[in-house]
Amino acid sequence: MTMRNIIEVKDFVKKYDKFTAVDNVTFEVEEGSIFAFLGPNGAGKSTTINTLCTIFDKTSGTLMIDGKDVTHEKDAVRSVIGVVFQEPTLDNKMTVLENLIMHCHFYAIPKSEANERIQFVLNLVDLLDWKKAMVSSLSGGMKRRVEIARALLHYPKVLFLDEPTTGLDPQTRAHMWEYIVKLQKEKNITIFLTTHYMEEAEICSKVAIMDAGKIVAIDTPYHLKQQYTKDKAKITTLDEQGLEVLLDMAGFNYKKKNGYYSIEVNNLPKLMDIISDQKASITDLEINKGTLNDVFLEITGKDIRK
């Protein structure tokens, strides 16, 4: 079964005065998938999200969501998207419940349904007991959960999450991801997010790596790693000389580190031959896939965490 593209972006350019924030970007997002924009701060991720959400106006190109043009059919687009911005957008002077009721007004959700939907979304993010609390009294993680709940109230087809876990502690971050994955599975909502955390991008169906306003690579995390990184093997052996001879003969790049050999695996069958030859003396073996950070490093020559 072929999935339909819920988001289609073609030749998108966004300039601020002379500075080009997004430089000719093209990509598609399949319906029901989790799509991530990965890149350092200032790469153009938020600009792209803000333009897709109808907040910014594009400089040129076409951006379509659910078959609707983001520039010319703003209201139609707005009613099918839910957005959680990087910075908080809750009404601090109101309670959780009042925030959600206001959202129902904004999206013209009938009064008869509003209550049921509010219960549903609050339950989803485990905040049913906090309905009456003032938003200003909630912790950062709870506020983010209220925002996610609110963004889901009108049953959007696409949920935009701009850095959904930035500023949250690791435990809350893990929880947040449980909610996100649950949503995608249960409601078949397309989730479009930006992040600069590698481990978060790993969970996504597709990752677009962005740097300096351009998409430098786009694929599944697995393929990206396969294409841009080499697997690394760690071998600990009693017969170090024997192993070195075989590795040299087969032409492997390797380094001896404290107690083990770190080997770049560019030919797996050959390495397996060496391992089976040396099986009597090998005491420990580990093969690691490259990480998305390695991918980023390989493509841009920069460490994303810098």
Partner 1 sequence: MDIIVALWFRNIKIFARNRVQLIFTIIMPFFFLFVFSSVFKNQNIENPVNYMLAGIVITTVFQTSLTVATSTIEDIVSGFMKEVLVSPVKRIQIAAGQLLSAATIATMQGIIILFIGYFIGLKFTSWITPFEVIVVMIVVGLVFSGLGLYIATLVKNSQTFQVVITAITMPLTFLCGAYIPLSMLPKVLQYIAYLNPMTYTTAFFRTIILEKTSLTTNRLVAEQLAFKIGNFVITPPISMVIVLIFGLVFLLLSTYVFSKVDFSRINRSKSKEGDIFS
Nearest to 144 by CA among 176, 184, 98: 176
Quick check: 172 binds partner 1 (CB under 8 A)?
no
Q: Which of 14, 78, 206, 225 is in the footprint of partner 1 by CB under 8 A?
A: 78
Give the separation between CA 126 and CA 253, rounded to whole angstroms. 51
CB of 82 to partner 1, least distance (A): 9
CA distance 185 to 191: 11
The least CB distance from residue 94 to partner 1, in Å, is: 7
| 169 forms part of the interface with partner 1 (CB under 8 A) | no
Q: Check if the beta carbon of residue 21 is closer than 8 Å to that of residue 4.
A: no
Q: Which of 67, 167, 245, 266 binds partner 1 (CB under 8 A)?
A: 167
- Rounded CA gap, 177 and 60, in Å? 34
87 binds partner 1 (CB under 8 A): yes
Task: Indicate which single residue of 20, 31, 90, 114 sits in contact with partner 1 (rule: CB under 8 A).
Answer: 90
Stretch that binds partner 1, among 23-31, 105-113, 228-236, 268-276 (CB under 8 A): 105-113
Nearer to partner 1, 80 or 275 (CB): 80
171: closest CA among 151, 191, 196, 142?
A: 142
Phi, psi of 184 (to 5 degrees): -60, -40
Does residue 23 contact residue 211 with C-beta atoms inside 8 Å? no
Q: What is the footprint of partner 1 within residues 23-52 (CB under 8 A)?
A: 41, 50
Which residue(s) pair with 288 in the sheet? Answer: 232
195 forms part of the interface with partner 1 (CB under 8 A): no
**Which amino acid does the sequence have at 100?**
L
Cross-strand bridge partners of residue 14: 22
3 is a contact residue toward partner 1 (CB under 8 A):
no
CB atoms within 10 A of CB 94: 15
In terms of Cα–Cα distance, which of 36, 27, 46 is closest to 203?
Answer: 36
Query: For 50, how many CA atoms within 13 A lie in the half-sphere containing its CB?
Result: 16
Q: What angle do CA 202, 49, 191 make, to 5 degrees?
A: 45
By beta-carbon proximity to partner 1, the closer residue of 81 and 122 is 81
**Tokens (6 digits) for 84:** 């959680």
59 binds partner 1 (CB under 8 A): no
DSSP-assigned letter for residue 264: E
Question: Does position 155 bind partner 1 by CB under 8 A?
Answer: no
- Residue closer to partner 1, measured from CB, 40 or 242: 40
Window contacting partner 1 (CB under 8 A); options: 85-93, 210-218, 247-255, 261-269: 85-93
Among 38, 81, 122, 161, contact with partner 1 (rule: CB under 8 A): 81
| Structure tokens that stand for 214 in this block | 């351009």
CB of 96 to partner 1, least distance (A): 14
CB of residue 217 vs partner 1: minimum separation in angstroms? Answer: 22
Binding characters for partner 1, 109-148, by CB under 8 A (x = yes): ----------------------------------------
Chain contacts with partner 1 (rule: CB under 8 A)? 41, 50, 53-56, 75, 78-79, 81, 83, 85-94, 98, 101-103, 105-108, 150, 163, 166-167, 196
